[in-house]
Amino acid sequence: MTLYQLISDYKNIHAYKESFNELAKLVFGIDFKTWYEKGYWSENYICYSYIDGDKVIANASINKMTIISKGKDYKAIQIGTVMTHPDYRNQGLSGKLINHIMEKYEKESDFIFLFANKSVLNFYPKFGFEKVQESSFSLSLSDVIKQPTKSSTLRRLNIESAMDLQLLESFATERIPVSTFLGVKNNEHLLMFYFILVFNDSIYYIEEEDVIVLFKHEDSHLHIFDIVSKKRVEINTILSHIISTKTETINFYFTPDDNDKNINAAFITDSDDTLFVRPLIKDVTEHFLFPLTSHS
C-alpha cells in the first residue's frame, strides 16, 4: 500500500487548511472557511490527516471539551470530521487515523465519543466504541397552562454585524452549561461554528433575560436547539418570550433540567446521528441527549 504522510495541528498552515476545507466540501458539503477566517479554529480543534503531496486525502479531527454530568466534570475528546477522498478509499486510512487518535488521547481523557451516521454503525465498534441510546425531549402545550407571551425585545442576531458577532463571542466564552444533567464547557469553537454556519438564521437575543436562544418555528412545532446564557434561566421563562399562538409542541435538542414534570422523554430508536462512547460513562441519567451544538 502507498505510504502517505500523517500531519496534524496545521490550523496555521494555509495550504493544508485550504485542502482540508476542500475535502470537507466534497465529502460533507460543509465549508469551514468563514468559521476559520474569523479566527474560531482554536487549540481545542485538531485535525489528523493523511496527505498525498500537499493534498489532504483523509482526515479525523478531535474536539477537546469538558462534559458535565450530574455536577461532575469529565475531560472528553470528541472525534469528528472523519472523511476520505473518494479516490483514496478502501485503503484503511480512516481506521489508521482513529487508532492514532485513540493511542494519543485515551490515557489523558475520561472518555472519547463520536456521532455516526447509519452507513458506519459497524465501523466504530471495531475500535472499542459502544453504541449508546440517547433520548428525545418534548413538551406538549396542551399539558400545561398556556400563558400569554411576555412583551419582550426579541432580536434576531446577524453574524455579519460586528456588534452582534461580538455579543455571540461573549456568550460563547462565558456561557454556563445548558443543563445540570448533561452539558458542555470549553466548547466555544464548536458553538461559534453553529452560530456562523448552521443556525445563522435562527439566533435570537432576549434582552430582558440577557439570553441567546437558537430556535425555529415549524408549523405547530417549536424547535429549541440551544439556550445560551451566562446565568441559570428557567425554560418556562424562555418559552414565555418565544412561543406563538400556533405552538402546540416544543422539541428540545439538549437535556432539559428536570424542573418541569410535563417534559416527555423517549428513547430515540431511529437516528442518523448515533452516539458511540469509549469507555461508557456509568453515572449519566437514564434519559439524556448531548446538546446538538456540541456535535462535531
Question: Is residue 258 domain-resident?
Answer: yes
Closest CA to 229 of 206, 256, 263, 246: 206
Q: φ and ψ at 135, to 5 degrees?
A: -125, 160
Instruction: Identify the pLDDT of residue 279.
Output: 85
Structurally, how many domains does the chain consist of?
2
Query: Quick one: 263 and 207 in the same domain?
Result: yes
Specify whether 148 is located in the same domain as 127.
Answer: no
Taking residues 184-192, report their average pLDDT.
95
Q: Quick one: 126 and 234 in the same domain?
A: no
CA of 167: how far to CAs of 176, 177, 230, in Å?
15, 18, 12
Clarify whether residues 41 and 82 are in a common domain: yes
Taking the C-alpha atoms of residue 250 and residue 188, their distance in angstroms, rounded to an integer, is: 26
pTM over 0.85: yes
Residue 208 lies in a domain: yes
The bridge status of strand 135-140 relative to strand 249-252 is antiparallel
Domain range for 171 is: 137-267
Q: Say yes or no to pLDDT of 1 above 60.
A: no
Residue 157 lies inside a defined structural domain of this protein: yes
Asked if residue 289 belongs to a domain, the reply is no
d(CA 28, CA 24): 5
Each residue's pLDDT tens digit, 98-146: 999 999 999 999 999 999 999 898 999 999 999 999 999 999 987 554 5
Q: What is the pLDDT of residues 36-87, one digit of tens each?
A: 999 999 999 999 999 999 999 999 999 999 999 888 999 999 999 999 999 9
Is residue 97 domain-resident?
A: yes
CATH of the domain at 237: 3.40.630
User: Do 247 and 153 have their domain in common?
Assistant: yes
CA-to-CA separations, 148 to 60, 141, 284, in angstroms, rounded:
48, 12, 35
Q: What percent of the chain has pLDDT over 90?
A: 82
CATH code of the domain in which 73 resides: 3.40.630.30
